[in-house]
């Protein structure tokens, strides 16, 4: 008997044609059926990239394996805030800080759309942008990547960019959260009160998720209130996926963005290659990590593919 295969592309088309009332339950059922057909090896392989950083930065698209036999396409990622890197013919857009100075969300939406179109043209499907971090000092090494220090500006420009880019690809809001320092970014612990966190450092990410419907979020290198962002249960499971109802996937910042508790605490994808997540398979086989954690992470990725495909289908139809 030939097994029934649930390809993501037909699945997205079916969901795009469904009524809003039926979309949620239909999507969850189909994603559950799809994940159930995967082997443990296939699921774990989708939780980390397999393209090492080498040569000229941005020349390659960073790959995350799909499952060809089930019609699950791979992720093909590119950085980021200024466009699709150094690929021939790619547009080098003004930095986000310069674009933010315009306070023109309509233009930023068109910028996001143009970047998304260019990435899709070279075979990519995940754009690692926008950067939505609060600028706290002009000497911050990545200050040019964000839009400024004003929370409202960050929100409006970020939402516009996400909406534009996702006409063609999946956007990635980064770096979540409270990431505003460079030289000690791997070990700094941002000690912050609940009100300050929610009024100053999180509103723009919430807007990107709720209004922009961002398909993915990248965690930050720093710690917040004693726990590394890439394994911060309060930020990832409590606020992002819990309170905000985020239906996309969370990936690590590159190379050093993953910790031992990351998968258990809500990180779905390690980039650009498996470092910590190389042990997931053995941990499951040894009974140290429930397979349900793996299933949940893969489901977030598949769900994001389908909801984003549905939005693009509706947008093109409109």
Element (H, E) at 77: strand 75-79
DSSP 225: T
Question: How does 122-140 read in b/e, with b if 16+ C-beta sit within 10 Å?
Answer: eebbbbbbbbbbbbeeeeb
Name the average pLDDT for the chain: 88
**Would you state the pLDDT for residue 148?**
95
Mean pLDDT of the 101-111 span: 97
**Could you say which of 88, 150, 247, 253 is catalytic?**
253
d(Cα 169, Cα 162) in Å, to the nearest integer? 10
d(Cα 206, Cα 176) in Å, to the nearest integer? 10
Summarised one tens digit per residue, pLDDT across range 148-190 is 999 999 999 999 999 999 999 999 999 999 998 887 888 899 9
Cα first-last separation, the chain: 41
Mean pLDDT of the 4-14 span: 41
d(Cα 6, Cα 304) in Å, to the nearest integer? 15
The CA-based dihedral angle spanning residues 283, 273, 223, 140, taken in that order and rounded to the nearest 10 degrees: 180
**Would you state the pLDDT for residue 23?**
57
Summarised one tens digit per residue, pLDDT across range 193-230 is 999 999 999 999 999 999 999 999 999 999 999 999 99
Summarised one tens digit per residue, pLDDT across range 118-145 is 999 999 999 999 999 999 887 788 889 9
**Would you state the pLDDT for residue 312?**
53
Residue 247: CB atoms within 10 Å: 19
Summarised one tens digit per residue, pLDDT across range 56-77 is 776 789 999 999 999 999 999 9
Asked about 253 being catalytic, the answer comes back as yes
Summarised one tens digit per residue, pLDDT across range 18-43 is 445 455 678 888 899 999 999 999 99
Q: Which of 179, 177, 212 has its CA nearest to residue 198?
A: 177
Q: Which architecture characterizes domain 40-51+60-317 according to CATH? A: Alpha-Beta Barrel (3.20)
d(Cα 74, Cα 80) in Å, to the nearest integer? 18
**Would you state the pLDDT for residue 139?**
78
Summarised one tens digit per residue, pLDDT across range 257-299 is 999 999 999 999 999 999 999 999 999 999 999 999 999 999 9
Burial (CB count <10 Å: 0-12, 13-18, 19+), residue 112: buried
In the chain, the percentage of residues whose pLDDT exceeds 70 is: 87
């Amino acid at each position: 008997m030939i097994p029934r295969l649930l390809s993501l592309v037909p699945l997205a088309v079916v969901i795009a044609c469904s009524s809003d009332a039926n979309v949620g339950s239909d999507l969850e059922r189909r994603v559950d059926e799809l994940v159930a057909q995967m082997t443990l090896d296939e699921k774990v392989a989708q939780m980390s990239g397999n393209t090492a950083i080498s040569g000229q930065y941005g020349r390659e698209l960073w790959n995350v394996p799909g499952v060809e036999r089930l019609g699950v396409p791979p992720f093909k990622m590119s950085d980021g805030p200024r466009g699709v890197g150094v690929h021939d013919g790619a547009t080098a857009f003004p930095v986000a800080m310069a674009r933010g100075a315009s306070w023109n969300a309509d233009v930023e939406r068109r910028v996001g759309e143009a970047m998304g179109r260019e990435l899709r043209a070279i075979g990519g499907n995940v754009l690692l942008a926008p950067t939505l971090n609060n600028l706290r000092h002009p000497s911050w090494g990545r200050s040019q990547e964000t839009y400024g220090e004003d929370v409202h500006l960050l929100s409006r420009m970020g939402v516009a960019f996400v909406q534009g880019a996702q006409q063609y690809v999946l956007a990635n809001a980064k770096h979540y959260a409270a990431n505003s320092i460079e030289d000690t970014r791997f070990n700094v612990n941002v000690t912050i009160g609940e009100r300050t966190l929610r009024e100053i450092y999180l509103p723009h990410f919430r807007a990107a998720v709720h209004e922009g419907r961002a398909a993915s979020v990248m965690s930050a290198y720093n710690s917040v209130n004693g726990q590394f962002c890439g394994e911060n249960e309060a930020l990832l499971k409590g606020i992002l996926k819990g309170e905000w109802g985020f239906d996309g996937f969370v990936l690590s910042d590159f190379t050093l963005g993953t910790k031992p508790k990351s998968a258990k605490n809500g990180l779905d994808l390690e980039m650009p290659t498996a470092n910590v997540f190389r042990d997931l398979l053995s941990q499951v086989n040894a009974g140290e990590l429930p397979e349900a954690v793996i299933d949940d992470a893969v489901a977030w990725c598949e769900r994001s593919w389908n909801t984003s495909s549905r939005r693009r289908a509706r947008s093109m139809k409109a």
